[in-house]
Structures are given as C-alpha cells and as structure tokens.
Amino acid sequence: MAKTVAITHPDIHAYLERVRPASDSILREMEREAVRRGFPTWTAVRAVLHLLVRAMKAKRIFELGSGFGYTMYWMAKALPPVD
C-alpha cells in the first residue's frame, strides 16, 4: 500500500475511508508506483474529490495535476457511465 499522509482528524479520515469505493487492480498498480517513487497518496483528498464529483453529479471533469493521475482516477471513478 502507498504511504498515506493524514491531513484530517482521525474520525474524518476513518469516515472517508469507509465511504470511498473499493480499490481495483489499476489503483493497486498506481499505489505500488507511488511507493516506488516515494510519492504520497493523500487519502482524505482522494475521498473528498470522489464525493464532490458524485455530489455535484458532474458529467465532465478537468484536473491539472503534478503527479501521475492518481487523484484523477478517483474522480473519474465517480463519473456516471458514458452514454
């Protein structure tokens, strides 16, 4: 598992971990890559972004990141299926 950085109260962090979607093979590969690179995965941020995309019922998203697409993947998982 990738090294996570806690930026929220432990209770909030625990809640966000409970409501986030399950991991998949792509996320596990990205987490291994994060460990290999020493790149932090912001657990609270990924969960909040995922929830915001779902709550907004977004149909499109744009993210300009500085990593390798980890948070973008979480947001993309929150989008509705393409028609």
pLDDT at 1: 52
pLDDT at 65: 78
Please give the average per-residue pLDDT across 51-56, as a whole number.
90
Whether residue 57 has pLDDT greater than 90: yes
Q: How far apart are CA 52 and CA 78, in angstroms?
A: 9
Please give the average per-residue pLDDT across 7-22, as a whole number.
79
Tokens of 51: 């929830």
Q: How far apart are CA 6 and CA 71, in angstroms?
A: 16
- The whole model's pTM is what? 0.71
Torsion from C-alpha of 10, 15, 20, 23, nearest 10 degrees: 50
**Residue pair 43/4 in contact by the 8 Å Cβ criterion:** yes
Length of the chain: 83
Identify the band that residue 14 occupies on the pLDDT scale cut at 50, 70 and 90.
Answer: confident
